[in-house]
């Protein structure tokens, strides 16, 4: 769900609170793009959103919390409480360590292009193949497409 309208409202209010004009945000974007954002007619990239938050001297997490709260009809504090609970679960499930494994130094580790393999399906295809079933029979048993079964079949 787009947060375009909520972002527009938040930017308007923050910009006015800070006493900024469009010209104060010129390092971020051209004035017409800022106007389009404030009218809810543009979706900024994540990088542009980060730059805009910096130009507004406003924390990007707080900016997103305001937008999410507006969308959900609650307060930014409630949005942040929900986010904090999810962050706690993320850390409990080892998310921080997993994030660290996604980087080699400051570089993102490359992954193979395309959709990641479903290990459960791959194992099921491998098992049925070892039991002597054909690819067509494996498709019927597992409810997978011919191309998916064929791909896992060939990896064995």
For the residues 105-133, what does the mean pLDDT come to?
87
Q: Which residue has the tokens 């709260």?
A: 69
The answer, yes or no, to whether residue 14 has pLDDT greater than 80, is yes
Token pair 């993102």 is at which residue?
A: 108
If DSSP codes are grouped into helix, strand and coil, which group holds residue 120? Answer: helix
Mean pLDDT of 62-75: 96
pLDDT surpasses 80 at 31: no
Q: Is the pLDDT of residue 68 over 90?
A: yes
Q: What was the pLDDT predicted at 2?
A: 80
Q: What is the mean pLDDT of the chain?
A: 90
pLDDT at residue 95, rounded to an integer: 94
Is residue 31 a contact partner of residue 66, using CB atoms and an 8 Å limit?
A: no
Q: Are 138 and 127 in contact (CB under 8 A)?
A: no
Domain chopping of the chain, boundaries: 4-88, 119-155
Residue whose entry in the numeric block shows the structure tokens 């542009």 = 48
Residue-wise pLDDT for 73-114, tens only, equals 999 999 999 999 999 999 999 999 999 999 988 899 988 777
Above pLDDT 90, what percent of the chain?
Answer: 63
pLDDT at position 29: 65
What CATH class does 4-88 carry?
mainly alpha
- Neighbouring CB atoms inside 10 A of 76's CB total 17
């Amino acid at each position: 769900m787009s947060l375009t309208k909520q972002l527009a409202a938040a930017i308007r209010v923050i910009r006015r609170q800070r006493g900024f004009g469009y010209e104060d945000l010129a390092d971020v974007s051209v004035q017409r793009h800022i106007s389009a954002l404030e009218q809810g007619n543009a979706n900024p990239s994540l990088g542009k959103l980060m730059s805009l938050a910096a130009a507004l001297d406003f924390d990007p997490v707080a900016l997103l919390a305001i937008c999410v709260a507006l969308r959900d009809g609650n307060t930014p504090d409630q949005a942040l409480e929900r986010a904090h609970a999810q962050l706690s679960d993320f850390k409990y499930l080892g998310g921080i360590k997993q994030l660290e494994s996604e980087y080699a130094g400051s570089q993102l580790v490359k992954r193979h292009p395309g959709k990641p393999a479903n290990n459960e399906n791959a194992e099921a295809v491998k098992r049925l193949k070892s039991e002597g079933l054909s690819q067509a029979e494996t498709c019927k048993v597992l409810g997978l497409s011919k191309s998916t079964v064929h791909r896992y079949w060939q990896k064995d």
